[in-house]
Each structure stands twice: as C-alpha cells, then as structure tokens.
Amino acid sequence: MIDPKILAARFPGDFVFGVATAAFQIEGASKADGRKPSIWDAFSNMPGRVFGRHNGDVACDHYNRLEEDLDLIKALGVEAYRFSIAWPRIIPEGTGPVNEKGLDFYDRLVDGLKARGIKAFATLYHWDLPLALMGDGGWTSRATAYAFQRYAQTVIARLGDRLDAVATFNEPWCSVWLSHLYGVHAPGERNMDAALHALHVTNLAHGLGVAAVRAERPNLPVGLVLNAHQTYAASNGPEDVAAEKRAFDFHNGVFFGPVFAGAYPRGFMSALGHRMPEIEPGDMETIHLPLDWWGLNYYTPMRVQADEAPGAEYPATLPAPAVNGTKTDIGWEVCAPALGDLVRRLNDAYRLPDCYITENGACYNMGVENGEVNDQPRLDYIAEHLSVTADLISEGFSVRGYFAWSLMDNFEWAEGYRMRFGIVHVDYATQVRTIKKSGYWYSVLARQFPKGNHSGR
C-alpha cells in the first residue's frame, strides 16, 4: 500500500486536495422548495432508461442533511469541495421567475463551507437541464444557450462573492454525444443531427456563461470541466491509426478546438460541418474566451479500431478491447499511465491554462462489514493515479489540484444506485454514511495540505 505521507511529499505545498459530487446525484428533495423537474427526472421515471428505474427523488437526501454532510467533508480533512448547482432549483422552468428558496440552499451550502474553512468549487451545469426547456428542443435549441447565460449570471450575482472557482459545464462530451447520439443519458436521443446542434449550442452556452461570470465577478476563476479521452489505436495498421486520429477529434477536438483554439477540427468539419447549425458571427470568439483554469475528469482510456463497414458514419470507429486485464466493477479498464499520456498530448495540441483533476476515482461495490468497508482496490486506483499526477507536476505541467470522485456513493446516472464510486459508503435505506478504507487513507493524505513548501509559486 502506498504510504499517503510519502505520496504527499511529491506534491507542492499549495496543491489542493478535494472531493466532488453533483446536485442530481446526491440532493434528492426533487420537489422541495419550488424545484421543478429536470430532464433527468423525466428520463429516470421512464421505464428502460435507468437501471432498476431508480431516480433522484431521494438520492443521498443531501438537501435535508446538508450540515451533517458538510461536517463529513470537514472530517475528511480536505481543502476543497466541488459541487454542482441545480438549475431547476434556481430558475425552475429554465426561463422566467427566479426561485429564491433554491438560491437560499446554495447560500447555506457555501456559507457552511466557508465556516468550516473549505474552498468552494461550483459547477453550473452537471446535466440537470430544466425539463421545460425541452419544449423548445433543449440543448439543440440556440435559445437554451441564452437561458443558460441568464442562469449563470443569476447564480454568480448571489454566490460569486464566496466561491473560489466556478466551472460552466461538467463533461459536455456526456451532455452532447452520450445524451444525443448514443442515447444513454437524458434526453436519450440517438441522432447525429440533434447531437451536432447540441454540440454547438453547448459550446456557445459555455462561452456566454464565461462572459456572464466575468461581468458579475471579474476576479472569480472561471473554467470548464472536460472528460478528455486518451484514445489509443488498436493496432499500428494505417486504418486503425487514422481511426484513432478521427476519434481524438470527435471526442476531444470538438470541445478543445473551439474553446482553446477558436475552431472546430478540420477533418470533423469536412465530414459533418454541413450538418452543423449555423455558426453565427461572433460565436467562435465567444466560445474561445480565455479561461483561468480547466478541469480534467479521467477514469479510463478509449481504445478504437476502424469501422470498415460501408457508409459507416464519421468518426467511423469501433471500440477495441482493453489491454489491461484489471477492470473496475463498472467494467472500465484501469490504466493510470493513460492519464499521463493524455495530459502530455493535450498540452502538445493546445495552449491550456492551469489544470485541476476535477474527477478521478473508481467503481467498487463492496458493502459494510463489521462497521467497515474494505475497498483496497479503490485506494490503489486513487494512489496510482495520484502518483502519475505527481510525475506530471515534476515534468512541469501545471496541475493544481485533485478531487476524488466521489465524496459518497450516489445516483450513478443510467446505472442507478447499483454502481458505487464513493470514498464514503451510503446505506440508502437508512442514509447512514460510513467512511471507507480509501476515505481514511485519502484523509491522511489530504491533511498534509496546505503545507509549507510552496516551491516558489
């Protein structure tokens, strides 16, 4: 087992250790205090979409257990908490009246963090689009980008004075491709045209959101959280090598390109550009506004091979088998070196600001035995990925923090409650929280920070 104190010595003294969650996955109280449904309420209440037809009505009941959960974060000894704000609590119909009671909840959350000396990293959009906006086409409609801008401005006007950092979006790859092309996440579309519209509208909303944050709070660090994919070709054959390049553009370039270089990837545009919505004058400048930081969510690599079926739609790739035998309980290949390859490659391709690892962690479903949860494989997973992170820092990459996904077991989207990522176990029948072995280990590590060797920063 990696000694957390020895690992700690490999990080600069101002490195931020935190834990992460998202509103829909933990809050519950789905009808409380004026909240209206999101697309995830509708999706999870529809049979066949989410495992066991689980939904977010109760989740971890965090909405009603706020103080106790903040005490838990404090007890873990971490310096920062990454959480998301539920748009359907703040502007329940997406546009129209602002719900003060929704804002009050996040006021209490942020004040509770401040009172405990914990930094607040807020995410504005972690997938819970107000359902009413689906009436206009949801993320496929340009109007949603402007609705998001107003929501962003509303949140920052109220909370911005006490936030330490804000991200516009969490993983647009999921809310675009996984939600509109692969049909796995809400709203469950399987349509390239819908997905291409969602892509540009989401990128535009990000840029409009950045502008809204800056207009309210020019000094609040604003960023974007991306689940970049480390793509590997299945073989050295020219077809697979070309397929891997297309996959990189399709899964990464369509977000990194506009945001960090002001353009969609060329190959992607020649294949699919004619099916994109109109890119209006000024859009690319808005999307390309400079960011103070970016967040990387990393779990597993993406291995691809060429799809040689005639007429295969761009990017014309098929999944290729895992190379490492070790998989987590959700079936994801464990491959820590891919995290290093990914950060090096992205920095090669784009000029990136400071990076935070905003999510990393593993699904292991072991339960409580004699009051304890022995999740050694999760501990090992986190330790290995932190070790790669320390390597990256020593190579000179500006990685400033790491957030374990997740603070506690929660609603794992299409997998419902059966897949557990927490460093704290949740018994959903009693809502009892039990810190797992990985949680105690992470706590020893996190408690070393901040420390005195700020290595010249």
Binding site for ligand FCB (CB under 6 A): 22, 25, 170-171, 174, 227, 297, 359, 405, 412-413, 421
**19 versus 234: smaller Cβ distance to ligand FCB:** 19
Specify the residue for token string 């909370």: 159
**116 versus 418: smaller Cβ distance to ligand FCB:** 418
Give min distance, CB of 421 to ligand FCB, in A.
5
Sheet holding 317-319, edge to edge: 231-233, 302-306, 317-319
What span, in angstroms and rounded, lies between the C-alpha atoms of 117 and 108?
A: 14
**23 versus 110: smaller Cβ distance to ligand FCB:** 23
- Which of these is catalytic: 27, 216, 244, 359? 359
**177 versus 449: smaller Cβ distance to ligand FCB:** 177
H or E element that contains 346 = helix 336-349
Give min distance, CB of 25 to ligand FCB, in A.
6
Give min distance, CB of 250 to ligand FCB, in A.
17
Widest pairwise Cα distance in the chain:
63
**264 versus 405: smaller Cβ distance to ligand FCB:** 405
- The structure tokens listed for 75 are 């007890």
- Which of these is catalytic: 171, 189, 333, 412? 171
Asked if residues 286 and 213 have their Cβ atoms less than 8 Å apart, the reply is no
Give min distance, CB of 26 to ligand FCB, in A.
10
H or E element that contains 77 = none
Asked if residues 11 and 449 have their Cβ atoms less than 8 Å apart, the reply is yes
Asked if residues 333 and 322 have their Cβ atoms less than 8 Å apart, the reply is yes
H or E element that contains 275 = none
Q: Verify whether residue 67 is a known catalytic residue.
A: no
Nearest by Cα to 426 from 112, 14, 60: 60
Q: Verify whether residue 239 is a known catalytic residue.
A: no
What span, in angstroms and rounded, lies between the C-alpha atoms of 31 and 62?
A: 14
Coil, strand or helix at 427: strand
Give min distance, CB of 313 to ligand FCB, in A.
24
Q: Which residues are identified as catalytic?
A: 171, 359
